[in-house]
Copies of this chain bind each other. A is one copy, B any other.
Amino acid sequence: MPKLGMKPIRKAALVDATITEIGRAGSLDVTVSQIARRAGMSSALAHHYFGSKEQIFLAAMRHVLATHGAEVRGALSAADSARGRLNGIVRASFAASSFRREVIGAWLNFYVLAQTQPEARRLLRVYQRRLHSNLCHALRPIIGAPADHVARGLGAMIDGVYIREALKSGRPDGAAAAAAVLAHLERELGSAGLSERA
């Protein structure tokens, strides 16, 4: 009973299943069959829609990145001050949609994938550039020229905190993670600015 227009539904289901499976397995060593089973279809169908395992992985990665991007954009549009923007970016980086066990595990593995997969590397670079540019933009009005350096360090710290979470055991606490990073930033901005709340 082939319903029409299954393609996007199936693809979305496969992408979700891929993230879940990679997160569960904690590695890219997941079979197409596992992914397909979790998505409720045969492995042949997964191949039919994506062509190869590689493409499935890339689609999953794009999805994670897109979700994160949307989160950041939302936070930015809701902010009305430079400090508010910083707050938003950091908070969005640890927002519930991206800061879940499976997603963190998947993210770490996408980092690995980017070592070998040119397209994966490109995607990760896009993410890093976007993060850096957003941070710079928000920092410049506050500290001026050093914004670039500070943004670079802050970006690294965000990634570091994020990835370290993969090793922890309990539930990921996004709010705490964001607060820790923000506290750092606050200390770094130091005497320059007042510690207002956004």
Q: Are B115 and A184 in contact (CB under 8 A)?
A: no
Give the residues in chain B near A160, CB-CB below 8 Å: 155-161, 163
Instruction: Bin the interface of chain A by size.
Output: 35 or more
User: Looking at A114, A156, A180, which has the most chain B CB atoms within 10 Å of its CB?
Assistant: A156
Q: Are A188 and B191 in contact (CB under 8 A)?
A: no
Which listed residue, B25, B116, B124, B156, touches A157 by the CB 8 Å rule? B156
CB of A166 within 8 Å of the partner chain: yes
Closest-CB distance, A123 to chain B (whole angstroms): 11
Closest-CB distance, A159 to chain B (whole angstroms): 4
Can you report 16 A-B residue pairs in the complex whose CB atoms are below 8 A from each other?
A: A26-B115, A27-B28, A27-B112, A27-B115, A109-B112, A115-B167, A121-B167, A125-B167, A153-B181, A153-B184, A156-B157, A157-B160, A159-B163, A187-B188, A190-B190, A190-B191
| Given A25-B116, A124-B167; 14 other pairs, CB 8 A cutoff | A105-B115, A111-B166, A111-B167, A112-B112, A115-B166, A150-B184, A153-B161, A153-B184, A156-B161, A156-B164, A157-B160, A158-B160, A184-B188, A187-B190
